[in-house]
Amino acid sequence: MPKVTYVEHNGTKHTVEVPLGASLMQGAVANMVPGIEGDCGGLCACATCHVYIPLESKQVCGSMDELEDNMLNFGYDVNENSRLACQIEVTEALDGLTVQLPSRQY
């Protein structure tokens, strides 16, 4: 299983194994990573799984569709590296990915 590191706003790191085909949000929730809420269960309807993807990893995370782009308008402290973790499917290419979490989701 690919390993993904979630870094809390305070610098605390959580490296977890995420099953292939699961979303980054599902991996965080299943491993009780603080800072990823996932209130809508991954339906791209709440923006509570907002993460920052490193610039060099954007391409392997896939492209953002219009729904995700619009939903990010409800996120906190959104920038050009912002994505919704529920919309990124874990593949072997994401093994070793590190994502940063915002200071809050709301």
CA gap 28, 56 in Å, rounded? 21
Read off the tokens for 22. Answer: 């699961």
Q: How many CA atoms lie less than 13 Å away from 48 in the CB half-sphere? A: 16
Using one digit for the tens of pLDDT, what is the confidence trace for 27-47? 999 999 999 999 999 999 999
pLDDT at 92: 98
Q: Averaged over 59-68, what is the pLDDT?
A: 96
**What CATH number was assigned to the domain covering residues 3-100?**
3.10.20.30
pLDDT at 5: 98
Domain boundaries along the sequence of the chain: 3-100
